[in-house]
A and B are shown apart, each in its own frame.
Chain A
């Protein structure tokens, strides 16, 4: 199926991206082409096929509930763009 400019705008909002007019136009065209190609999958009958999310037969892995060494506060904030009093600083949440 082909998607329209407004669909691209909606998806961009979900993905927390701002698109320029140029990007929106380009992505509308390119995503339509990719999704059209993906329609190929509909040639296959998969009604009775189980999905494969992971190739290994894994279930949740738990570690023992014991205290282990963790990162220091200095390390945790080493890459923080902004911090104050041991907390990550962000602008106002409510605008």
Chain B
């Protein structure tokens, strides 16, 4: 048992009782990074000097008896698409390999207000486009459970760092599954909040109507605490929701008796038999705790991946037009005029997956094709959202697997983008509908973790946290650690 296996509450008690110092906690993070990250590749940039100075400051704060922040002394790694003032932020792209942000994103400021300590920036698929972390410009991330497997993506570094004990917790971002899928593959807890609950100010935009930041942790209770610290209205994000933020930890009562769970039959079709077996076992456990579940149908599930790739790529093609080599980022050496500068900077700056999506999105939005692709996908999005709205009229939560399989082998899908996209078939529908979802470990298949997904009503994170917490309290999958 290491320091990072302690629950937040227990770690805080040890700090308050002076059994350990914040400096010890930060040392633990850098010791594990030094020992393990060469193999795993979770980090792109470390903030060692800054983190050690912050630890000393927090140790003084502890000694002074001041009130401590909710995430006091916890070493956090952040996906490298969230801007951090004075700490390089690359989006794992050559284009931003020299980018030195001039402000902090709102979540970064909130993490600091809560007294956590930023230890580094985490690897990801380039501009968050990918499901395997193999599209990072710098290097891939390896799955801590099996170095020949992918950690998932796009928040692959964020999930692998928690699984490997290289951070106490991390933040990822989720557009079509990019928190939940890697959390599932790496055997950790990943929460995508309701769209609008967490500010997007300072996260480099991929698909603005879908992007959402959320925590990756070792257990559900810690996820509730981290969400508490980062949620809330932000005037700097025009899509931030003006809603009251409840106390999430108080929802973790362990009592789930009478909660009504819907299990979509479409989520159990064609999935790996061992994944299905683990999910069915989880449902029996939830039933034994007093929840009731029924099979339902979300009939538009099979259309979600197609709609998602058209919409997210369309939004990406527009968002990424800002990368022109003029105001920031890497400018290509060239001899021609302005147009040539745009073309060369973008052609040299973006990797193949990013170019592919810009191309797809540009096509779907272009004159003559807009109605057939973009508008059609927006209408299908309405149908998908209706599936969820109708289900939530009768049920408190939807439960199913997070992914159809466990982590796949590195290199096995890089040449086949469509197959890669289909890994996200169970996480994408709820992204399009904007509702919250959490993945928790629910078993293993041949030594690789399996994830269970709980989907909730909009802004009702409390119910899925309560269910996931009750499940976790009666199972030990989340306590398993990779041997590293």
Contacts and interface: CB of A to CB of B under 8 A. Distances in A.
Contacts of A33: 418
Contact of A56 (B98, B100, B241, B337): B241
B376 A11 contact: no
B317 interface: yes
B43 interface: no
Interface in A6-23: 7-8, 11-12, 14-19, 23
B328 interface: yes
Interface stretch (B30-38, B105-113, B136-144, B300-308): B300-308
B363 A3 contact: yes
B280 to A, nearest CB: 29
Interface in A28-52: 30-31, 33-35, 37-38, 40-44, 46, 49-52
Interface string B329-344: 1110010111111111
B347 interface: yes
B379 A51 contact: yes
Consensus secondary structure, chain B interface: helix
A11 B356 CA distance: 11
Contact of B330 (A12, A53, A81): A81
A51 B382 CA distance: 6
Contact of B336 (A12, A40, A95): A95
Given A58-B239, A75-B102, A37 B418 contact: yes
Consensus secondary structure, chain A interface: loop
Contact of A78 (B102, B336, B417): B102
Contacts of A51: 375, 378-379, 381-382
A11 B310 contact: no
A14 B321 CA distance: 10
Given A46-B379, A51-B378, A55-B385, A16 B359 contact: no
Interface in B331-384: 331, 334, 336-344, 346-347, 350, 352, 355-356, 358-360, 362-363, 366, 373, 375-383
A56 B358 CA distance: 25
Interface size class of B (residues with CB under 8 A): 35 or more
Contacts of B339: 16, 95
Contact of B309 (A11, A34, A63, A82): A34
A69 B195 CA distance: 29
Given A38-B373, A46-B383, A79-B100, A11 B362 contact: yes
Given A18-B344, A46-B376, A80 B328 contact: yes
A14 B362 contact: yes
Nearest to B196: A56
A69 B434 CA distance: 33
Contacts of B303: 40-41, 43-44
A8 to B, nearest CB: 7
A84 to B, nearest CB: 13
Contacts of A35: 360, 363, 373
Given A79-B100, A93-B337, A38 B309 contact: yes
B99 interface: yes
A38 B362 contact: no
B209 A88 contact: no
A40 B302 contact: yes
A31 to B, nearest CB: 6
A67 interface: no
Nearest to A38: B306
A39 B375 CA distance: 13
B367 to A, nearest CB: 9
A66 interface: no
Contact of B378 (A34, A53, A91): A53
Contact of B366 (A11, A40, A92): A11
Given A30-B417, A55-B209, A82-B331, A16 B383 contact: no
Given A58-B239, A76-B102, A50 B337 contact: no
Nearest to A30: B417
Given A11-B366, A15-B317, A49 B382 contact: yes
A8 B355 CA distance: 12
A62 B65 CA distance: 42
B238 interface: yes
Contacts of B20: none
Given A31-B356, A38-B373, A78 B337 contact: no
B433 A34 contact: no
A90 B383 contact: no
A79 B328 contact: yes
Contacts of B102: 71, 75-76, 78-79
9 A-B pairs with least C-beta separation: A55-B434, A51-B378, A79-B328, A81-B331, A46-B379, A95-B337, A75-B102, A15-B362, A49-B379
5 contacts: A16-B339, A18-B344, A44-B380, A52-B381, A88-B326
Given A7-B363, A95-B337, 9 more contacts: A15-B359, A17-B358, A37-B306, A40-B302, A40-B303, A51-B382, A52-B382, A54-B209, A78-B102
Interface of A: 3, 7-8, 11-12, 14-19, 23, 27, 30-31, 33-35, 37-38, 40-44, 46, 49-56, 58, 60-61, 63, 71, 75-76, 78-82, 88, 90-95
